[in-house]
Amino acid sequence: MSREAALRIDIVTLFPDMFSGPFAESMVRRAVDRGIADIRLVPLRPFGVGIHRTTDDYPYGGGVGMLMRPEPVVEAVEWCLAHDPRPARVLITAARGRPLTQAWLEDLAGAGHLVIVAGHYEGIDQRVVDILQAEELSLGAFVLTGGEIPAMAVVDGVVRLLPGVLGALSGSRDDSFSGTGRLVEGPQYTRPPVYRGHQVPESLLSGDHARIRQWREESARWSTERWQRMASDE
């Protein structure tokens, strides 16, 4: 597959070295090696303002912490957009963003070009979102020191959905939160059949495909209800 046909993912970040380990392993590495994904790290600092390449400043109106200035982020993203003719989705990691879901990842996997901005400090000047018409995303109702880890999660979640990345064709279709029902997968087991007194459910050992399918469907419904209860308790 040519680079032009691959999903291009640009990651705008203050800390590009953070990605070297995660992206050199597992499915992301496989996708890059096979030409299925073209992942590029775009350091934000060269787009900084003035001789010191400043990327942050104090917020108007006062407050604790610093904000990422609009000029470096907008110009870095525009640089990314100029280097691929395909329409791009621009994502910004932010604690206030829309929670990431499997359905959203599936939607992003159909794009030709993704630009992900790893947020930092107390956030990003709102004009960046407005000018770029960016989508703000969050991993959940908690705060991290920076947006690099959320950006890694997006890349991992999207790349594994691309055709040719996973070994089994149905691998991603059977995941939790995937498919029409969006159910959570039930418990799974492998050898040995008995371990420290805990047995694999007899239905899974029966060899009866209909019985196995019924057990898995019931387990998925139970797991989904349990997950929904836990989510509602937060």
Secondary structure class of 227 (helix, strand, coil): helix
pLDDT at 172 > cutoff 90:
no
- At 231, is the pLDDT very low, low, confident or very high (cuts 50, 70, 90)? confident
pTM greater than 0.85 (yes/no): yes
Residue % of the chain over a pLDDT of 70: 92
Amino acid at 4: E
Distances (CA, A) of 227 to 86, 183, 185, 224: 38, 10, 10, 5
Fold exhibited by the domain 7-159: Alpha/beta knot (3.40.1280)
Mean pLDDT of 145-165: 96
Residue, of 5 and 173, whose pLDDT is higher? 5
- At 95, is the pLDDT very low, low, confident or very high (cuts 50, 70, 90)? very high
Residues facing residue 91 across a β-bridge: 116, 135
Q: How high is the pLDDT of residue 107? A: 97
Amino acid at 218: E
Q: How high is the pLDDT of residue 180? A: 52
Question: Please, what's the b/e burial string for 166-189 (b: 16 or more CB within 10 A of its CB; e: otherwise)?
Answer: beeeeebeebebbeeeebbebeee
Number of other residues whose CB lies within 10 A of the CB of residue 38: 19
Tokens matching residue 22: 């995660």
Phi and psi at residue 56, to the nearest 5°: -140, 165
Mean pLDDT of 90-118: 97
- At 234, is the pLDDT very low, low, confident or very high (cuts 50, 70, 90)? low
Q: How high is the pLDDT of residue 232? A: 84
